[in-house]
Amino acid sequence: MLATVQVALKQFKGTKRLETIDKANNQTVVATSDNLFKYCEYAGAAYKVSGATWTCPGNCQSANTAGTIVDYHWSLNRIPSYGFVAHKDDTKEIIVSWRGSTTLMDWVADFTVVPHSWPDQIDGSAVHSGFLYAYNAAASKIKSVVAELLQKYPDYKLVLTGHSLGGAQATLAAVDFVTEQPEWADRLELYTYGQPRVGNAAFSNWLSKQSFPIFRTVYRGDLVAQVPLIAMGFQHQAQEVWYASGGAQTKFCGSDAENYECQNSLSPLQWSAMNHLQYPGLSWDILYFFIGNADALGI
């Protein structure tokens, strides 16, 4: 497995511009491969940061993340929900990162698929009840800390990120934040990696039309990005960014929530649990994920 991780990282060289359209203002929003890598490093760090200090091997020591200050860390083992709220002064950003699943218990929550009507502000919207349960467990304190930081640092942007279950919670947070605090939308960016489908078409379509940048990143045939199934009433949000063949071939997939020229072009025989561990930027933190999920993922 180490060899496959190293290959994925080596393929991700140089800076590639990925452009999308700010739907509200008809402006071009640019994401670079450097940013995709950077916020995946923060997503990976959520597996390792265990307290109020920015100390962990690999991801906490990179040029992108060094000097980050942790403002709040949570760890709710039975829910499951883990992550941190942090800020970085030289780049003027507030980062909230949710950790992915690391135990079979997490995956039980991942596949508690019964839809739950949420939020009230979106007509017909329903989301995965297990994901919402995990998000809500820590949401109140997270929002309180974020509100304080946004007030303290009025020129900082707000970045939400997460891998796997963490990406699902980051997606729910983005919707929660902008429905409860619409003024936050102008400062918000959402980067997820290997997230499962979170909600139904009403949820997805509403989110896809929001003005803040969304980069739902998928690595090759990552199996987790294909669950819950569309046939079960779930739908991804735009915008998908697909690593079609490792980090060397990055495709921006436009405003279609389920683009059949991107990962959906693959057959189920091409879906891969191992690809879920190979996102450029996760670094060696994925070993922690792998050890806890080998049986659950069928690897």
Which residue of the set 87, 97, 276, 285 is catalytic? 276
Average pLDDT, integer, range 215-227? 95
| Predicted local distance difference test score (pLDDT) of residue 97 | 98
| Predicted local distance difference test score (pLDDT) of residue 254 | 87
What pLDDT band is residue 109 in, cutting at 50, 70 and 90?
low
Active site residue 164: yes
What gap in Å lies between CA 119 and CA 183, rounded to an integer? 18
User: Comparing 20 with 7, which gets the higher pLDDT?
Assistant: 20
Active site residue 276: yes
Average pLDDT, the chain: 85
Tell whether the model's pLDDT for residue 174 goes beyond 80. Answer: yes
Average pLDDT, integer, range 4-24? 41
| Contact criterion met (CB below 8 Å) for 206 and 122 | yes
Angle between helices 129-152 and 165-180 in degrees, nearest 10:
60
What gap in Å lies between CA 169 and CA 174, rounded to an integer? 9
| Predicted local distance difference test score (pLDDT) of residue 289 | 54
Active site residue 116: no
**Looking at the 3D structure of the chain, how many domains does it have?**
1
What gap in Å lies between CA 232 and CA 211, rounded to an integer? 28
Handedness of CA 243, 38, 208, 17 (dihedral sign): negative
- Write the secondary structure of the chain as one string of H (helix), E (strand) and C (coil): CHHHHHHHHHHCCCCCEEEEEECCCCEEEEEEHHHHHHHHHHHHHCCCCCCCCCCCCCHHHCCCCCCCEEEEEEEECCCCEEEEEEEECCCCEEEEEECCCCCHHHHHHHCCCCEEECCCCCCCCEEEHHHHHHHHHHHHHHHHHHHHHHHHCCCCEEEEEEECHHHHHHHHHHHHHHHHCHHHHHHEEEEEECCCCCECHHHHHHHHCCCCCEEEEEECCEHHHHCCCHHHCCECCCCEEEEEEEECCEEECCCCCCCCCCHHHCCHHHCECHHHHCCCCCHHHHHHHHHHHHHHHCC
* Most confidently predicted of 100-104, 107-111, 142-146: 142-146
| Predicted local distance difference test score (pLDDT) of residue 13 | 38
Tell whether the model's pLDDT for residue 7 goes beyond 80. Answer: no
Listed residue (31, 33, 27, 30) closest to 14, CA to CA: 33
Tell whether the model's pLDDT for residue 288 goes beyond 70. Answer: no
* Most confidently predicted of 106-115, 164-173, 248-257, 290-299: 164-173
Q: Which of 48-57, 176-185, 190-199, 202-211 has the lowest mean pLDDT?
A: 48-57
Which residue of the set 71, 106, 222, 285 is catalytic? 222
| Predicted local distance difference test score (pLDDT) of residue 293 | 53
Percent of the chain with pLDDT over 90: 65
Q: Which of 10-14, 209-213, 257-261 has the lowest mean pLDDT?
A: 10-14
What pLDDT band is residue 294 in, cutting at 50, 70 and 90?
low
Residue 139: give the domain boundaries: 2-297
| Predicted local distance difference test score (pLDDT) of residue 22 | 45
Listed residue (47, 44, 88) closest to 68, CA to CA: 88
CATH number of the domain where residue 240 is located: 3.40.50.1820
Handedness of CA 98, 100, 105, 109 (dihedral sign): positive
Which residue of the set 81, 125, 164, 208 is catalytic? 164
Structure tokens at 34: 């450097």
Residues in the chain: 299
In which residue are the tokens 């997820």 written? Answer: 192
What pLDDT band is residue 274 in, cutting at 50, 70 and 90?
confident
Tell whether the model's pLDDT for residue 182 goes beyond 80. Answer: yes
